[in-house]
Structure 1
């Protein structure tokens, strides 16, 4: 059901009003970009397609999926400390004159359709994978830093909303429908949407981090319970020697 929601949302973004006017209107372009990066990959990741492939897929594909999930690029991008920075950099482009050229280009529209959901899934997918485990100390630090960094995702939206001049430099009023807003009003609407989506998108990431922390804590608790008294005593002595 979650994967079906991801597909339906993707279809709406492609063929609905957002996909129809994303080259003319900043708010439509921003909404499409944000949902392709946040919402579509989140629902797809919650469906756990990679876990299904690793557990029930053909042996060759399962082994390939394991290698990919444990590869350095995926582990870096799937780190909850790095993931918010990726979103911040992506949406910071909307504050530059590059935004107008990207928005009005058909080539960029096609590239965004393919690569933005893939980037979002690469960032969010590992957070929901049970096989990607870290130490409890790292997960705790990751959670605390991610909580601060995830709030930074809203900065581009805030800047778009409070600025009283058009940041991308395109002052041509969009034509086609009587309800099209002025360039500045269009930018403010884009900022409102991006601000709201960035704040709401923090919730599933923090939930995934909490789930990861629970898994790591249970794994470490089981490993400690499996130790004999002699092994536990030796582990305690080694720990005290390092502290000393």
Structure 2
């Protein structure tokens, strides 16, 4: 809200729908996941934990990103604040998490914990639960920011094409943990569900199967809007690059070509 007031004081305008997307859809979904059904039972039900973890990683950051918080902060901050923000955006941790090669592996590694006994510790430890509730959405936000804040995290068209390749690879990678959890015939975390005496609780194996179904479905379906965002990003970047080339004079284009070729002289004509 402070950023909105700063933009309005400077005579700027911020779309209402982006504010609503950030507050209602983004932060609202985070509150529902943390305090609602899946948040309450995530420590006792495997499928509730799977739903909460996967939506915290994918859905909440995507909805928060629709509000473009980085663009708003950049518009509201002064020169010093904008400099700090740009240094943060180009820092090694941010570039590492938002890297198109590493980002698809984050969800895969996180979801592969469901096929190990570590999933019981992650699910039942209160301290780890707090860390995951805070850290997972933040990591997911850093992964999605290059797609929602394309003006701030500008990339050339060639790198965007590479991102397309890794997004389609992510479609396959994210399915692997869910398939393993769903098809396994034994309880992978080697623990019976706490509070299994409640009549509506599924048995441990069925609970695990529901967790696998949830991981598989959410990880696959959430990639579709991401692919759409990347298509939009690519079309905008391609149009911008084409326009910049069209505006070059013949001499500028020749100089640019020579720079691209490493200033290699044109070989003399034979004969």
- Offset at residue 172 of structure 1 (A): 4.6
SS in structure 2 opposite 1:178?
A: coil
Higher alpha-carbon deviation: 109-118 or 143-152 = 143-152
1:174 maps to 195
Counterpart Cα distance in 2 of 1:118 and 1:239: 38
Given the superposition, is the C-alpha separation of residues 165 and 238 from structure 1 closer, same or farther in structure 2, using an over 3 Å criterion?
Answer: same
- Offset at residue 173 of structure 1 (A): 6.0
1:126 maps to 146
Contact 2:196 2:203 in 1 (8 A): no
1:2 maps to 21
Given the superposition, is the C-alpha separation of residues 62 and 102 from structure 1 closer, same or farther in structure 2, using an over 3 Å criterion?
Answer: same
Higher alpha-carbon deviation: 172-181 or 148-157 = 172-181
Q: 1:64 and 2:90 equivalent?
A: no
- Offset at residue 208 of structure 1 (A): 2.6
TM norm structure 2: 0.83
Let me know the Cα RMSD of the aligned residues.
Answer: 2.1
Higher alpha-carbon deviation: 192-201 or 62-71 = 62-71
Q: 1:160 and 2:184 equivalent?
A: no
After superposing on structure 2, the runs of 4+ consecutive aligned residues of structure 1 that deviate more than 6 Å are none
Question: Among 106, 123, 126, which residue is 1:106 paired with?
Answer: 126
For these two proteins, the number of residue pairs brought into alignment is 244
- Offset at residue 113 of structure 1 (A): 1.2
Counterpart Cα distance in 2 of 1:176 and 1:61: 55
Higher alpha-carbon deviation: 166-175 or 21-30 = 166-175
Contact 1:78 1:123 in 2 (8 A): yes
Question: Among 90, 96, 113, which residue is 2:116 paired with?
Answer: 96
TM norm structure 1: 0.91
Q: Which runs of 5+ in 1 are unaligned?
A: none
Counterpart Cα distance in 1 of 2:58 and 2:220: 11
Higher alpha-carbon deviation: 87-96 or 210-219 = 210-219
Contact 2:44 2:193 in 1 (8 A): no
Contact 1:126 1:132 in 2 (8 A): yes
Contact 1:133 1:212 in 2 (8 A): no
Contact 1:54 1:63 in 2 (8 A): no
1:26 maps to 46
Given the superposition, is the C-alpha separation of residues 144 and 182 from structure 1 closer, same or farther in structure 2, using an over 3 Å criterion?
Answer: same
Given the superposition, is the C-alpha separation of residues 208 and 67 from structure 1 closer, same or farther in structure 2, using an over 3 Å criterion?
Answer: farther
Q: Which runs of 5+ in 2 are unaligned?
A: 1-19
Given the superposition, is the C-alpha separation of residues 176 and 118 from structure 1 closer, same or farther in structure 2, using an over 3 Å criterion?
Answer: farther
Contact 2:45 2:193 in 1 (8 A): no
Contact 1:6 1:43 in 2 (8 A): yes
- Offset at residue 169 of structure 1 (A): 0.9
